[in-house]
Amino acid sequence: MVGWLVFEAEGGLDGFRQGLRELRYVEGRNIAIESRSPEGSGDRLVEQIEELARLKVEIIVTGGVPATVAAKRAALPIPVVFVMADPAGSGVVASLAHPRGTMTGQSLAIEEQFAGKWLQLLKEAAPQLSRVAYLWNPANHSSASSWKAMRGLARTLGLTLQSVEICDPKDIGGAFAAITRERADG
């Protein structure tokens, strides 16, 4: 039995089921999936991980930093396979090459690796730019790393970088109002 605790990307669980079918694992016939959805604030994540453990899942699949960090914090003997941004930088694993313990998975750290490049491409596409807004979540390690990379490159490109922090989806309206008020070009 597989435990699934992933902030739903469109079609995430459906895609997972399809991938299993391609490997001849068919839900209800030779595999079972117990799904939990950590929607909202994620306050119940450790509780949901422990609930999956009580159901005797053999592996837990997590997605995103909050669910993966909660799985690590639960310190269960069940293998956890994650998809998240920067697992080493977030403290989930010692390193990608040698994760140790029951945690293993895939890093999506591409955002921070390409943050500076995105800014450079934006400047090349619109050379008149002088002020660029960057929407980011300071609680997200990858987002914070991207902000740091962009700040360094912005100076060399002659850009002023406007930090627009969003910690909750309800903050989006205020964030765009701030961008408009500060007159960002991009």
39: left (phi over 0), alpha (psi -120 to 50) or beta: beta
pLDDT tens, residue by residue, 143-180: 777 788 788 788 888 899 899 998 888 888 999 999 99
Q: What is the pLDDT of residue 46?
A: 83
Provide the Cα torsion 52, 54, 58, 62; round to 10°. Answer: 20
Task: Note the pLDDT of residue 109.
Answer: 62
What pLDDT shows up at residue 26?
93
Q: What is the mean pLDDT of the chain?
A: 84
pTM, 2 dp: 0.61
Strands (E), the chain: 2-6, 33-36, 59-63, 80-84, 103-107, 131-136, 160-165
Give tens-digit pLDDT for 1-59. 999 888 765 558 888 899 999 999 999 999 999 988 776 556 688 888 889 999 999 99
| Domains of the chain as residue ranges with CATH | 2-107 (3.40.50.2300), 110-181 (3.40.50.2300)
Distance in angstroms (rounded) separating the CA atoms of residues 174 and 186: 17
Instruction: Look at residue 181 in the predicted model and tell me its pLDDT.
Output: 93
Contact 156, 127 (CB under 8 A): no
Structure confidence by residue, pLDDT tens digits, 95-121? 877 888 888 887 766 555 677 778 888
Query: So what's the pLDDT on residue 112?
Result: 57
pLDDT computed for residue 141 by the predictor = 67
User: In the predicted model, is pLDDT for residue 71 greater than 70?
Assistant: yes
CA pair distance 137, 168, nearest whole angstrom? 8
